[in-house]
Structures are given as structure tokens and as C-alpha cells.
């Protein structure tokens, strides 16, 4: 699959960076890391959540300054300090993990924003902006209404806008920080094709992804970080996923089907004939106590929409939802929370957290009642206990509970969201794509938690488009396609490839 | 038309409300729908509109300015003494001097905000007090009447005698107001700087990462506001033909209310010249109408407060587009 690069032997590296360290308060985000990327190379940065991948990108692009100053070469030129604007001028573009888009502006403006910065103030034309944006989207083979306000797009489309934005400039080096986290398979394939084209033209790409198959497929070399330290740089030739995982985590993970027999457990959530026009129809299933029910299917099958309805965010046109034998009439998600349903959404960054607030405050947000005394005042001790409990339970790596959530790495933010909902002690937990953007080690951690929660009696509906995830971790699997449930599988009786064939068809 | 509605829901809603009020007032009072009344409405709104254009730019860039009306008074005083010192002056010098002085005061705000990382509301409340204190101290509260002739002369840009013999006139400040509106429109809609201002107000960290010069944004926004404040001050003295130290104090909140009514968002990233224009006019017309209907001026503030509450809650409801669940706009609900 790999194509030869267009840059000759002996060309200087696109970027070479020596001995960078960066600390935030007490956290060593990067500890004496050196990094090099060749021109035209597709290079992957791999490592667990919080190992410093995004921080490294931010240092190279001048968003953060390294502790001891910058010692670097950019395209053969020595550089001692960097600013975002300078990085842009040198032909570096970034797809940020948190996208860094402008929700109030249109899709076209967001994509072509690059052409609006730098240089003297000048007039511009909307027509040109649209043309540039259109071209970038076309190269990704997608269509998005250019005049739509960005804030109205679902997360997956925003991700595409962020990708398109990086393609607008004639960048010589593009950083892609988890660009595929919320993309469908076909969108991902289109992106990977673009990466290959760029590389063939001599553009270097630094690719960050927790989907190791993707990494091994696209990259020629991979730089592995662990806890802010450089583990090593490896060619992907001959590298396997399990070896890479081992390098990233320092331990091995085994996979085995975890399904148990739950058919005799008491039913908790009973759904009958649930229909919402244009989204899903005639959905019926029973979720039992202590059961992990996997719900899989392609993106667009209506899984997330079903999740929203079960959580009271949208109303069904027909059908019933019953909890513990009592039919629920959910008017809002507040009703759902009160009834004992918790929902960890797919778009955690936008929906789940109050970014500038502290980790502790975010975590206790839905349970303020529980940690308050009679007078309605929050008990500090109760709060700290609760926070400590969940931080250790989910192994969340943080500096201090009073730090703003915004300072956490993407994957650790997701665990905070999970902790927040678990603290409500729900009867039913709906997890929508719980491992998007979460590294292998943390995935294993999250699934361990999921199992543990199930064993303590919680009923869990786990939505995921990654079939292996549900296969290895669910007790039972529902397959959804075009808004309907089209099959039910017991992982103990099926092989993974058969299931994958059925779903990906 | 449908496109305008979709692209500018706030503006189109304001326009409808404005039309409704005008239709109502036309029937309720026979002096409302007359050329004389409309020209005097424009004359009376000109200063607020000039200031509103400055404030709009600050709000788009995610800031707020409480100090501009007092800054305008400062500019008026300095101008009187400066013209005296150079023995007269003229409109060209006056406009340049007023705009320059105002911009200088705006830069003080920008410096405090950018260099010391203090939020704009705190900075401008402080400079509001500092400017006003200094002004009262140095002027000892004196009124100034010795303005140069050119400054106080009424210049008409339009006049027309109506059938009943009264004159409909537009004065110089209206022309200046239209120039300010046009310039602001070009700045925020047609220049790259304008897009950067929106982006900076919308997502400051994102803007910084894509290479927007954050310091420049603060200086441009508060400099523009300052220049508008100064020019507005110059024009206000042209209308009232005197300079009074506390004449303008309090106007900042009226303008702020009108600009917010026009759809500019406290917090940045949203706002348009048209909306801003309509917002100021809506307040002015409501006041005018209540006057014509003989309603007490005290009731007026109450009514304006009510209008603003309704306008803001309507824009939060976002009619029609809200039927389906949309991520991003629903933060509060799922958090
Ligand atoms: N602005 C900041 N203030 C404080 N701590 C920070 C800040 N930015 C990053 N950190 C910390 O530095 C460490 C590295 O974070 P970084 O975002 O680089 O991780 P990452 O490898 O990108 O992880 P992920 O895969 O989850 O995105 C984390 O422990 C994080 O909490
Ligand atoms: Mg990251």
C-alpha cells in the first residue's frame, strides 16, 4: 500500500527537535523527548492517553514554549523559538484534537480561515472562500453545506471540516491529532487516501490515532511515547498491533470473550415497538440486571438516535420504554436521570464537560444533592471522598482535582465524563462509543470497569461501531441496520469474523 | 427573502418587530408617520449609532466597553483646549484629532486587557471611573461654551419643506453616522481583519492556534471603539453647542442595551451592523412613540428593559430550527 516518497535521499528532515521537556505544574507532560520526521514521510505518534502527544504537537507549532527553550531545525533551518503564525508561515498545518474551530462562523469560513490570517489586512471575497472550501471538501469526497453555521453540525462533520481546513494551505507538514476518532469507515478511508496522496507529493504527515490498525497501515515509522518519555522510534514494517501495544503500555493484554449467561436475570429496561420517524422503527429488546448488551451497526444505523430517545432527549413517535416494569414517559433527560438512566454521549468534548471548571467540580455536577447537607451547602469532605473514589476507580491521570478539566488529555477527559455519570449510581448505563479516542491500555481499563459494574448489577447498554469491542465485552449483541434491529448474537456461539461480516457486510 | 431569514434570523425578527411597531404607531399617532418625525429620529439617534458601531466591534471580539461615553467627554474637553491652542482648527483637524484621541484612550483599555490579562469589563469599569474622576478634577465640573464657530455651526445635508410649512432636515452628524456605519460594515464584513475579529471572539484559543495575532485584535477592537467614541463626542458637541463634563455619562448602557438587542452576543463571535442599526432604531422609535403617545418617560426605560429581555430570550430559543436534536447547541441540557 505504501508509496515511495517524492523527496530524494539526503534532504534534511522536515522537523528535528532535540531534548524537549514541558511541565505543567507538577505534571511532566514531556520529559527530554527528541523527535524527527523526514520530508514526505507519514509518521505516527503513538502512546496512551496523557503521554504527551498533543503537547509535542503544540510545542512544534509554537502554541506552548518548551521549558528550556527550543532547539530545533525546521526544513533544514535552525529555529530557537516558534509562534503559531510562524509555524503556519513555514508550511505547517494542524488538525487539532479539540478541532479549534469557530462555531459561530460558517463551514466555508472555517475551512478557508487559513487564507484570512497573516499578511496585511486586506479585502477578501466570500466567493473565493467558498471555492477554496469546496475544493478542500471535494478532495475528501464529502459534501457539507458551506453556508451552515459550524455550531449546528454534528461532531463527525465538524471533524471533517477540521481536516479540510488543514488541506487548504499548501502545507509541507500536516499534524493530524486523532482525526479519525469520530469518522465512519468510508470517511476514514477517504482520509487515509488523502494522506497517501499528500505523502506522494512530498508532504510530511504526523498522524495520531488510537486505532492501531490504521497506524500500521498508513505510517512508515512510529514514535512511541510513554508517560512523557520517548520509548523509541520504530519502522512499521514487521510491527504488529500487540507489539505496539506492549511498547505503549509496557504490559500485554489478552483478549477473550467475556460473555456470561444472563438470560435468567431480572429484566430492568424493556423496550417495545419504539419508533421515531426517519431515525429508527419498531425497536424491541430487554436489558437485564447485570447484563452488558452490545448494540452495534454502521454509523447512521440509528444507534445514537436510539440512545438519545432512551435518555429522554428526543421523544418516540410510538412504542414504550419501561424501567423495572414501570412505563416511563420521559419528557427530558432530567426525567431519565431521575428514573436511573445515565448516558455517556458520543461527543464527550462538546456535551459532557464544563471545560474551565475543575475536574472535581465537573465530576460532582450531577450528584450535588448527594454531597450537600440539609442546608444545601456542599460538604467538602464528602466531595473530596467521592472525587478520590472515582479518580482511583477509573485510574484517571491528573495533576490535581482542582485543575481545570481543559488541562487533561483527551482520553482522560472522557474518563472524567464516565466517572461523572457513574457517580449518579444509575440502574441503566448507556455508553455511546465509550472508547472513541481512548488508548488501548485505557480501553482495557474501561472495559474492566464496565464488567465490574455489570457484575455489581448495573444494566449496561453499550453502543459501538467497533464490532470487536462488543464481541469481546458484551454478554449479548444486537445488530442494528437502517433503523431496525436485524439480528441478535451470543458471542459465545459466534466467531468474530462471522459477526464482522454480518455487520460490515 | 427566505434566504435572508435563514441567514439572519435575529435581523429579520427585529425588522418584523420594527415594522409592527411602526404600523401601530402610525395609527395611534398622526405625527409619527411623517417625514419630519423620521428625520428628527435619525438626527437624535446619530450619536448612539456612531457609538454602537464601535461597541459592536468590541462585542464581536469578545470584549465589552463601559468607558466609551466618558472617553467621549474626555475627547471633547481636550479638543476644546487643543482648538483654542492652535487658534481655531477646522472639521478635518477636528475629526482626525477626536478620532486619534479616542483611539488613544481605547489603546489604554486594550493594553490593560492584553498585557495584564484583566477581563474587559473590569478594565473598562476602572477606566470609566478613572477618566471621569480625572475629567471632573481637571475641569472642576466647568461647562465650556467657547467652542470654535465651525464646530457649533449647524450643517444641513438635506432639507425639505413639507406641505404644512415645517422643515424636514438631516444634520451633519447623520452623514458622519452613515460614514461610520459603512466603514464598520466594510471592516467587519469585507476585510480579513473582520473575520479574525469574529474568530477571536468566538474561540480565542482556536484563533491563537491558527495564527491570529491576539494582541492586534484587542487593539483594533478597542481602538475602533475609541475612534468612534471620539467622533461621536465631536458630533454631540456640534448638536448641543456646549461641552458638559457629565453630559454623556449613562449613555453607555443605553447603547450597550441597543447593541445587544441587535443580536451582538456578550461573549463574542456574533453580531452584525444591520442588527446593531435596527437595535438602536428600535429603541429610539419606541421612545419616540411613547413620547408621542404621551407616556411618562419613566415608563420608557421599563419598556426598553422588557423589549431587551424578550429579544434575548427569543434569540436563545432559536425558533424553527430547534425541532431536531442538534449537538453543540444543547450543551446545557446534557451536561
Ligand atoms: N495546559 C495544560 N495544563 C496542565 N496540564 C496539561 C496541559 N496540557 C496538557 N497537560 C497534561 O500533560 C499531559 C500530556 O497531555 P497531552 O494532551 O499531550 O496527552 P496526549 O498524549 O495527547 O493524550 P490523549 O491521547 O488523551 O489525547 C497530561 O497529563 C495532561 O494532563
Ligand atoms: Mg492528545
User: Do B191 and A122 touch, CB atoms closer than 8 A?
Assistant: yes
ipTM of predicted complex: 0.87
User: Do A137 and A108 touch, CB atoms closer than 8 A?
Assistant: no
Length of chain B: 335
Asked if B209 lies within 8 A of A96 by C-beta distance, the reply is yes
Distances (CA, A) of A453 to A203, A225, A246, A417, B287: 47, 31, 27, 16, 63
The predicted model gives A349-373 an average pLDDT of 76
The predicted model gives A297-316 an average pLDDT of 88
**Interface residues from chain B to A (CB-CB < 8 Å):** 7, 190-193, 195-196, 198-199, 201-203, 205-213, 265, 269-270, 321, 325-331, 333-335
Q: Specify the CATH superfamily of domain A42-62+83-249.
A: P-loop containing nucleotide triphosphate hydrolases (3.40.50.300)
Asked if A313 lies within 8 A of B270 by C-beta distance, the reply is no
| A267 band by pLDDT with thresholds 50, 70 and 90 | very high
Chain B: nearest CA to A115, how far in angstroms?
Answer: 9
Average pLDDT of the residues of chain A:
86
Q: Is A485 helix (H, G, I), strand (E, B) or coil?
A: strand
Beta bridge partners of A431: A344, A462
The reported pLDDT for the residue numbered A9 is 53
The reported pLDDT for the residue numbered B329 is 36
CATH code of A254-340+426-505, in short, is: 3.40.50.300
> Rounded to whole angstroms, how far apart are CA atoms B122 and B106?
14
Q: Is A314 on the interface with B (CB under 8 A)?
A: yes
The reported pLDDT for the residue numbered A254 is 58
- Please provide residue A45's backbone torsions phi and psi, each rounded to the nearest 5 degrees: -105, 120
Asked if B213 lies within 8 A of A104 by C-beta distance, the reply is no
The separation between the first and the last C-alpha atoms of chain B, rounded to the nearest angstrom, is 37
Chain B: nearest CA to A58, how far in angstroms?
Answer: 9
Residue of A nearest to B269 (CA): A104
Ligand nearest to the CA of A415: 1
Residue window 91-120, chain A: list those with CB within 8 Å of chain B: 94, 96, 99-105, 109, 113-114, 116-119
The H or E element that residue A319 is part of is strand A318-323
**Chain mean position to CA A138:** 24
pLDDT surpassing 90 at residue A284: yes
| Digit-coded pLDDT (tens) for A313-348 | 899 999 999 999 999 998 888 888 889 998 887 665
Residue of A nearest to B271 (CA): A104
Residue of A20, A47, A55 with the most ligand 1 atoms within 8 Å of its CB, for mutation: A55
Ligand 1, atom nearest to A57 Cα: 18
The predicted model gives A235-254 an average pLDDT of 80
Reported pTM: 0.77
Chain B: nearest CA to A197, how far in angstroms?
Answer: 24
Return the higher-pLDDT residue of A333 and A285. Answer: A285
Q: Give me the residue spans of the domains in chain A.
A: 42-62+83-249, 254-340+426-505, 356-424
Residue of A23, A27, A411 with the most ligand 1 atoms within 8 Å of its CB, for mutation: A27
User: Do B278 and B262 touch, CB atoms closer than 8 A?
Assistant: yes
Q: Is A286 on the interface with B (CB under 8 A)?
A: no
**Percent of chain A surpassing pLDDT 90:** 42
Residue B19, number of CB atoms within 10 A of its CB: 10
DSSP for B33-96?
Answer: SSHHHHHHHHHHHHHHHHHHHHHHHHHHTT---S-HHHHHHHHHHHHHHHHHHTT---HHHHHH
The reported pLDDT for the residue numbered B333 is 31
The predicted model gives A289-318 an average pLDDT of 89
Give the closest of A85, A105, A116 to B192, CB-based.
A116
Q: Whose CA is nearest to atom 28 of ligand 1?
A: A50
Return the higher-pLDDT residue of B220 and A304. Answer: B220
Cell of residue B22, nine digits:
411602526
User: Best mutation site among A91, A113, A316 for testing chain B: the one with the most B CBs within 10 Å?
Assistant: A113
User: Do A201 and A174 touch, CB atoms closer than 8 A?
Assistant: no
Spatial neighbors of A330 by CB under 8 A, at least 6 apart, are: A311, A312, A315, A321, A336, A339
| A364 band by pLDDT with thresholds 50, 70 and 90 | confident
| A400 band by pLDDT with thresholds 50, 70 and 90 | confident
The reported pLDDT for the residue numbered A351 is 54
| A148 band by pLDDT with thresholds 50, 70 and 90 | very high
The reported pLDDT for the residue numbered B314 is 63
The reported pLDDT for the residue numbered B311 is 66
Distance A470 CA to ligand 2 centre (A): 25
Q: Which residues of B touch A118 (CB under 8 A)?
A: 211
Residue numbers of chain B with a pLDDT score lower than 50? 317-335
| Digit-coded pLDDT (tens) for A419-476 | 888 888 889 999 988 877 777 777 777 888 888 888 888 999 999 888 888 888 899 9
The reported pLDDT for the residue numbered A149 is 92
Residue window 33-62, chain A: list those with CB within 8 Å of chain B: 61
Q: Give me the residue spans of the domains in chain B.
A: 8-317
User: Best mutation site among A104, A146, A348 for testing chain B: the one with the most B CBs within 10 Å?
Assistant: A104
Residue of B nearest to A115 (CA): B192
User: Best mutation site among A55, A62, A84 for testing chain B: the one with the most B CBs within 10 Å?
Assistant: A84
- What residues flank ligand 1, with Cβ below 6 Å? A 24, 27, 29, 47, 49-55, 97, 397, 399, 407-412, 439
Amino acid at each position: 500500500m505504501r508509496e515511495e516518497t517524492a523527496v530524494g535521499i539526503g534532504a534534511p528532515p522536515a522537523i528535528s527537535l532535540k531534548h524537549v521537556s514541558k511541565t505543567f505544574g507538577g505534571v511532566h507532560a514531556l520529559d527530554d523527548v527528541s523527535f524527527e520526521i523526514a520530508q514526505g514521510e507519514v509518521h505516527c505518534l503513538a502512546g496512551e492517553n496523557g503521554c504527551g502527544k498533543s503537547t509535542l504537537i503544540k510545542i512544534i507549532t509554537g502554541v506552548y514554549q518548551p521549558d528550556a527553550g527550543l532547539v530545533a531545525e525546521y526544513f533544514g533551518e535552525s529555529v530557537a523559538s516558534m509562534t503559531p503564525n510562524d509555524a503556519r508561515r513555514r508550511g505547517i498545518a494542524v488538525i487539532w484534537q479539540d478541532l479549534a474551530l469557530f462555531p459561530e462562523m460558517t463551514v466555508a469560513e472555517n475551512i478557508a480561515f487559513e487564507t484570512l490570517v497573516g499578511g496585511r489586512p486586506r479585502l477578501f471575497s466570500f466567493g473565493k472562500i467558498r471555492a477554496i472550501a469546496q475544493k478542500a471538501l471535494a478532495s475528501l469526497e464529502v459534501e457539507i453545506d458551506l453556508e451552515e453555521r459550524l455550531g449546528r453540525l454534528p461532531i463527525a462533520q465538524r471533524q471533517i471540516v477540521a481536516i479540510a481546513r488543514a488541506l487548504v494551505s499548501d502545507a509541507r507538514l500536516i499534524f493530524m491529532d486523532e482525526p479519525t476518532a469520530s469518522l465512519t469507515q468510508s470517511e476514514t478511508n477517504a482520509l487515509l487516501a488523502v494522506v497517501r496522496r499528500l505523502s506522494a507529493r512530498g508532504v510530511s504527515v504526523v498522524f495520531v490515532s488510537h486505532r492501531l490498525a490504521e497506524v500500521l497501515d498508513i505510517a512508515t515509522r512510529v514514535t512511541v511515547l510513554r508517560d512523557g518519555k520517548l520509548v523509541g522510534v520504530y519502522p512499521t514494517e514487521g510491527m504488529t498491533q500487540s507489539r505496539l501495544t506492549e511498547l505503549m503500555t509496557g504490559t500485554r493484554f489478552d483478549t477473550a470473550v467475556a460473555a456470561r449467561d444472563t438470560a435468567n436475570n431480572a429484566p430492568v429496561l424493556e423496550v417495545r415497538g419504539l419508533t421515531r420517524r426517519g431515525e429508527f422503527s419498531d425497536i424491541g429488546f430487554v436489558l437485564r440486571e447485570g447484563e452488558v448488551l452490545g448494540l452495534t451497526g454502521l454509523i447512521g444505523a440509528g444507534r445514537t438516535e436510539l440512545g438519545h430517545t432512551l435518555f429522554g432527549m428526543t421523544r418516540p413517535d410510538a412504542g414504550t420504554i419501561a424501567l423495572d416494569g414501570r412505563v416511563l414517559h420521559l419528557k427530558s433527560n432530567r426525567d431519565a436521570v431521575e428514573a436511573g438512566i445515565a448516558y455517556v454521549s458520543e461527543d464527550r468534548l462538546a456535551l459532557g464537560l464544563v471545560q474551565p471548571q475543575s475536574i472535581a467540580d465537573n465530576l460532582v455536577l450531577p450528584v450535588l444533592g448527594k454531597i450537600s447537607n440539609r442546608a444545601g451547602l456542599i460538604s467538602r469532605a464528602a466531595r473530596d471522598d467521592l472525587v478520590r473514589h472515582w479518580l482511583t476507580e477509573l485510574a484517571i491521570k491528573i495533576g490535581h482535582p482542582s485543575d481545570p478539566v481543559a488541562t487533561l488529555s483527551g482520553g482522560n477527559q472522557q474518563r472524567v465524563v464516565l466517572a461523572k455519570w457513574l457517580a449518579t449510581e444509575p440502574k441503566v448505563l448507556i455508553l455511546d462509543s465509550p472508547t472513541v479516542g481512548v488508548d488501548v491500555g485505557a480501553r482495557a481499563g474501561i472495559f474492566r470497569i464496565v464488567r465490574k459494574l455489570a457484575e455489581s448489577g448495573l444494566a449496561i447498554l453499550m453502543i459501538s461501531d467497533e464490532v470487536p469491542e462488543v464481541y469481546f465485552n458484551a454478554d449479548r449483541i444486537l445488530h442494528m441496520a437502517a433503523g431496525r434491529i436485524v439480528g441478535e448474537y451470543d458471542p459465545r456461539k459466534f466467531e468474530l469474523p462471522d459477526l464482522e461480516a454480518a455487520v460490515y457486510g | 427573502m427566505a434566504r435572508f431569514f435563514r441567514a439572519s434570523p435575529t435581523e429579520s425578527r427585529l425588522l418584523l418587530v420594527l415594522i409592527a411597531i411602526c404600523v401601530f404607531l402610525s395609527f395611534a399617532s398622526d405625527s409619527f408617520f411623517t417625514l419630519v418625525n423620521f428625520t428628527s429620529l435619525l438626527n437624535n439617534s446619530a450619536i448612539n449609532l456612531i457609538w454602537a458601531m464601535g461597541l459592536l466591534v468590541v462585542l464581536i471580539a469578545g470584549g465589552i466597553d463601559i468607558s466609551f461615553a466618558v472617553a467621549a467627554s474626555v475627547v471633547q474637553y481636550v479638543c476644546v483646549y487643543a482648538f483654542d491652542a492652535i487658534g481655531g482648527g477646522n472639521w478635518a483637524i477636528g475629526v482626525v484629532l477626536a478620532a486619534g484621541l479616542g483611539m488613544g484612550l481605547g489603546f489604554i483599555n486594550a493594553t490593560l486587557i492584553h498585557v495584564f490579562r484583566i477581563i474587559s469589563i473590569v478594565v473598562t469599569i476602572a477606566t470609566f471611573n478613572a477618566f471621569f474622576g480625572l475629567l471632573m478634577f481637571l475641569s472642576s465640573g466647568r461647562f465650556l461654551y467657547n467652542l470654535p464657530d465651525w464646530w457649533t455651526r449647524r450643517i444641513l445635508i438635506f432639507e425639505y419643506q413639507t406641505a404644512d410649512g415645517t422643515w424636514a432636515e438631516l444634520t451633519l452628524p447623520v452623514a458622519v453616522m452613515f460614514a461610520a456605519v459603512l466603514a464598520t460594515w466594510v471592516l467587519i464584513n469585507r476585510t480579513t481583519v473582520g473575520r479574525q475579529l469574529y474568530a477571536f471572539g468566538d474561540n480565542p484559543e482556536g484563533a491563537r492556534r491558527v495564527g491570529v495575532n491576539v494582541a492586534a485584535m484587542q487593539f483594533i477592537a478597542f481602538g475602533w471603539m475609541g475612534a468612534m467614541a471620539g467622533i461621536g463626542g465631536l458630533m454631540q458637541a456640534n448638536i448641543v453647542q456646549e461641552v458638559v463634563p457629565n453630559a454623556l455619562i449613562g449613555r453607555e448602557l443605553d447603547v450597550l442595551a441597543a447593541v445587544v438587542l441587535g443580536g451582538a452576543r456578550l461573549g463574542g463571535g456574533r453580531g452584525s451592523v444591520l442588527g446593531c442599526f435596527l437595535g438602536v432604531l428600535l429603541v429610539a422609535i419606541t421612545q419616540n412613540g411613547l413620547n408621542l403617545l404621551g407616556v411618562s418617560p419613566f415608563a420608557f426605560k421599563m419598556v426598553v428593559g422588557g423589549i431587551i429581555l424578550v429579544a434575548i430570550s427569543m434569540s436563545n430559543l432559536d425558533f424553527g430550527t430547534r425541532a431536531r436534536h442538534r449537538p453543540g447547541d444543547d450543551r446545557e441540557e446534557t451536561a
